[in-house]
A and B are shown apart, each in its own frame.
Chain A
Amino acid sequence: MKKISFLVILLGAILLSSCTSTNMKQDVYADFYAEEPVSILIMPVINNSVEVEVKDTFYTYLSKPLCEAGYYVYPPYLTMEILQKESAGDSEMFIEQSVEKFGSYFGADLVLFTRINYCSKMALLGQIVVNVDYILRSTKTDEILYEKTVEVVKDTSIDADSDGSAGLLGFIGSLVATSINTAIEDYESLMSLNCENGLGYLPAGKYSPKYGLDGEEYAGIKEMRISR
């Protein structure tokens, strides 16, 4: 009977520990909870990588996770049109400045800035790396209320010569194969994964059933690296 009691306690402890943490949202995002933001305006993506195309496509990933977190998110296409019309299409101009104007124009509580630091295919290492900053600022106080940097790495190397017998030719062959493979492979799945993690630790918004109840959930770390 003692054994059974021990097992019950052990399983209960495993269950509880899977959902509790010391790095809790209510501590890390105390200012966020205090402001009780409802709406989020997504700014155009800042792209510091050499891949020009990713700037616009990455923007399309941002709305869904924010809505699913329980926030009102301004319509992406209409918002982009208006931001460009109002000469606010370049987010770099605003990331260090006051964002109060976006509160008064749109009625947004928060403004989301995203910055693609790099998005690279490293043929020699056989890796694709996508590194992005996520910054949510309050339109009332200009303070940063949420900040994460996420790096997703995918190994794309092709082991053409596993026993090493082909020497230099084998290495070059492997390099070419890896290069072709990475050329075919695009960044999209990594971007989506990056985004899910970058915005996945937000406190729940008012449309979420977890609103006001997720303070003891794990807040995630500020800089994370995910290997795929």
Chain B
Amino acid sequence: MKNALKKVFLILIPAVFLLGGVSCSSGKLYSWGLYSEKCYDYTKNPSDWNKKMLKNQLEWMINHPAGSRGVVPPGILADYGYFLILEGETAQGVEYLEKEMELYPESVQFMKKIVEMFKEDEE
């Protein structure tokens, strides 16, 4: 009897933890790397160095999409494009805004306005 009880515990207890973990939690949708830290550093001190570090982080996220969705998180392509435009690389920046529209159709209304605005500024 004692052995039977032991067996039941040995099987059930890990199963409870495993099932509990599966049913109550889930993995991240996206891979963020050091995004929060770099945003924080740049916001606190918007120096050229911190801007470069944030841009590198965004670039890394664009080139290494992961998480359960396996795509770049919302807003990242657009913010990267925005930083490029600020540096005078308007054509390349607009490409990233267009990529944001392709990946996230919810952004189309806003992105179209922004693309027009930056193109007008350039002219």
A residues neighboring B (CB under 8 Å): 3-4, 7-8, 11, 14-15, 18-19, 38-39, 53, 56-57, 59-61, 63-64, 67-68, 70-78, 81-82, 105-107, 188, 192, 207-210
Question: Dominant SS at the A interface?
Answer: helix
| Interface size band for B | 35 or more
Bound CA–CA A99/B75 (angstroms): 21
Assess whether A188 is in contact with B40, with CB atoms less than 8 Å apart: yes
Cβ contacts under 8 Å, B16 to chain A? 11, 14-15
CB of A82 within 8 A of CB of B114, answer yes
**A78 and B79 within 8 A (CB):** yes
CB atoms of B36 and A74 under 8 A apart: no
**Is B60 engaged at the interface, CB distance under 8 Å to the other chain?**
no
Could you tell me which B residues sit within 8 Å of A by CB distance?
4-5, 8-9, 12-13, 16, 19-20, 23-24, 26, 28-30, 32, 35-36, 39-40, 43-44, 68-69, 73-76, 78-79, 82-83, 100, 104, 106-110, 113-114
Measured between beta carbons, the chain B residues less than 8 angstroms from A70 are 29
With A4-B5, A18-B20, A60-B39 already in contact, the answer to whether A67 and B74 are too (CB < 8 A) is yes
Q: Which chain A residues border B40 with CB–CB below 8 Å?
A: 57, 60, 188
> Cβ of A56 and Cβ of B44 under 8 Å apart?
yes
State A84–B24 Cα separation when bound (angstroms).
40
A106 touches B109 (CB 8 A): yes
> In the complex where A39-B106, A59-B43, A81-B82 touch, is A4 in contact with B29 (Cβ < 8 A)?
no
Taking a contact as CB atoms under 8 Å apart, the answer to whether B110 and A105 are in contact is yes
